[in-house]
Chain A
Amino acid sequence: DAGVIQSPRHEVTEMGQEVTLRCKPISGHDYLFWYRQTMMRGLELLIYFNNNVPIDDSGMPEDRFSAKMPNASFSTLKIQPSEPRDSAVYFCATRGSYNSPLHFGNGTRLTVT
């Protein structure tokens, strides 16, 4: 199993541009989570899906952020327009059965200038 695959690994963009981060979950995992990691705030849960349906998006910081999961093998996190304070590492994580641990991707390091 290749694990959770995120792309791109690094993204540098200018303020105001649209950014799309991608995640391919582990096959068979029903839950998918998007986290953001910064030095100041640590790991923050942004949104999570169960069977492709968004369950809790209370962690999404602003309307500029949106996430979709059109099918069981793909999810996107979009920021439009991006701002410098969005600079962070964004992780996708998935899990299978109810009490199993999370499996994290290697993250996307976003820099907004």
Chain B
Amino acid sequence: AQSVAQPEDQVNVAEGNPLTVKCTYSVSGNPYLFWYVQYPNRGLQFLLKYITGDNLVKGSYGFEAEFNKSQTSFHLKKPSALVSDSALYFCAVRDMDSGAGSYQLTFGKGTKLSVIP
């Protein structure tokens, strides 16, 4: 079974400060990891993904995430937060070794990010 944990329900950060939204995962095989963002009354939007290669992944809107295999983590980061970054952020994982016939993307519970002006 695969699972995702986002240990913080809410993260508050001052505008201009760096932000981190935490994510840890559990899969049997190799992980395929995503971050999505959800604005009010909208669907989830893709931010970035990790498959293989460089552990630091860069995505949309200046966000990046660092894959750490030993800690089974995939934390989302941004060097300087904007008020417009305030939204709900979801981490998701899929087991790459689950086979092409099975697709199961497991989402975390989400973390609400509030950037304070």
Report, as a range, how many residues of chain A touch the other chain: 20 to 34
CB A99 to nearest CB in B, in angstroms, measures 6
CB-CB < 8 A to A102: which residues of B?
Answer: 36, 44, 46, 105
Would you call A93 and B102 a contact (CB within 8 A)? no
- Bound together, the chains give a CA A43 to CA B90 distance in angstroms of 10
Query: In the complex, what residue of chain B is closest to A91 when comparing beta carbons?
Result: B43
Report, as a range, how many residues of chain B touch the other chain: 20 to 34
B116 CB-CB contact with A under 8 Å: no
Tell me the interface secondary structure of chain B in the complex: loop
Would you call B102 and A106 a contact (CB within 8 A)? no
Would you call A45 and B104 a contact (CB within 8 A)? yes
Query: In the complex, what residue of chain B is closest to A101 when comparing beta carbons?
Result: B46
CB-CB < 8 A to B42: which residues of A?
Answer: 106-107
B22 CB-CB contact with A under 8 Å: no
Tell me the interface secondary structure of chain A in the complex: strand
B56 CB-CB contact with A under 8 Å: no
CB-CB < 8 A to A107: which residues of B?
Answer: 41-43
List the 9 shortest-distance A-B pairs measured between CB atoms, nearest first: A104-B43, A101-B46, A43-B107, A42-B109, A104-B44, A106-B43, A105-B43, A106-B42, A107-B43
Q: List 26 A-B contacts (CB under 8 A).
A: A42-B107, A43-B44, A43-B90, A43-B107, A45-B104, A50-B103, A55-B101, A55-B102, A56-B104, A91-B44, A93-B43, A98-B100, A99-B51, A101-B34, A101-B46, A102-B36, A102-B44, A102-B46, A102-B105, A104-B36, A104-B43, A104-B44, A105-B43, A106-B41, A107-B42, A107-B43
Inter-chain pairs besides A102-B36, A104-B44, A107-B41, 16 sampled, C-beta below 8 Å: A4-B43, A31-B103, A42-B108, A45-B105, A48-B103, A55-B101, A91-B43, A91-B44, A98-B100, A99-B32, A101-B34, A102-B46, A104-B36, A104-B45, A105-B43, A106-B41
